[in-house]
Chain A
Amino acid sequence: GENVEQHPSTLSVQEGDSAVIKCTYSDSASNYFPWYKQELGKRPQLIIDIRSNVGEKKDQRIAVTLNKTAKHFSLHITETQPEDSAVYFCAATLSNFGNEKLTFGTGTRLTIIP
């Protein structure tokens, strides 16, 4: 089955600086890669996703890049703000006409230092 590794496990950055979180996956057939943000005691919320037919996607301060050859994808947050502090999870799945069970990484606790 799929295996997703995520680094770093914790990350502290100064407010206004950029944060980068990296993930690798094992199953070359995986074709959908979402990123979720989870605040303490709250539900995971999708912040951005990318499909295997594109290499990069941006949404305001958030971007995701995908390298299919190397089987890794990264989340980039620019101009970080205190409200970006949370745990971020990457995930991978094979889109299979419905059963898109997600395999998650172990999470990155991001702390923005004011």
Chain B
Amino acid sequence: GAGVSQSPRYKVAKRGQDVALRCDPISGHVSLFWYQQALGQGPEFLTYFQNEAQLDKSGLPSDRFFAERPEGSVSTLKIQRTQQEDSAVYLCASSHSGRGALSTDTQYFGPGTRLTVL
């Protein structure tokens, strides 16, 4: 079946522009995560959704970062007034588990969006 998809795959923005990154999780997956991966580093957690509820946004680096998942499926990560330090690959992951799950389910990652801020 279809895996996690993300669009666009590449995005170049001028400093100060707003960008929107889209994630389509695996159908039926309750949990959705956003991670930021800087060059040569491991992914770092940004935010977590359980269905449409954003239950953890502790990893968002500033109030310029905003994420939503209004219908509990597709999610959008928005970055306002982009800065050079925002340049990274933004990964989305989904898993089947959610509230009431008794064990950890595998997180399946999308291919990422590579954001370059000039």
CB distance from B9 to the nearest CB of A (A): 10
Contact A89 B101 (CB under 8 A): no
CB distance from B21 to the nearest CB of A (A): 15
Rounded to whole angstroms, the CA-CA distance of A1 and B31 in the bound complex is 21
User: Is A100 close to B, CB under 8 A?
Assistant: yes
Contact B111 A43 (CB under 8 A): yes
Contact B95 A100 (CB under 8 A): yes
Rounded to whole angstroms, the CA-CA distance of A66 and B54 in the bound complex is 32
Which of A56-64, A68-76, A78-86, A102-110 participates in binding chain B? A102-110
Q: Which of B76-117 contact A (CB under 8 A)?
A: 91, 95, 97-112
Rounded to whole angstroms, the CA-CA distance of A104 and B33 in the bound complex is 14
Contact A102 B106 (CB under 8 A): no
Rounded to whole angstroms, the CA-CA distance of A32 and B107 in the bound complex is 12
- Apart from A97-B100, A102-B45, list 16 A-B contacts with CB within 8 A: A34-B107, A36-B109, A46-B107, A51-B104, A89-B42, A93-B104, A95-B104, A98-B30, A98-B31, A98-B50, A98-B98, A98-B99, A100-B95, A101-B56, A104-B43, A106-B41
Contact A43 B110 (CB under 8 A): yes
Count of chain A residues near B, Cβ 8 A? 28
Rounded to whole angstroms, the CA-CA distance of A107 and B44 in the bound complex is 12
CB distance from B91 to the nearest CB of A (A): 7
CB distance from B42 to the nearest CB of A (A): 3
User: Is A44 close to B, CB under 8 A?
Assistant: yes
CB distance from A109 to the nearest CB of B (A): 9
CB distance from B70 to the nearest CB of A (A): 19
Rounded to whole angstroms, the CA-CA distance of A45 and B3 in the bound complex is 11
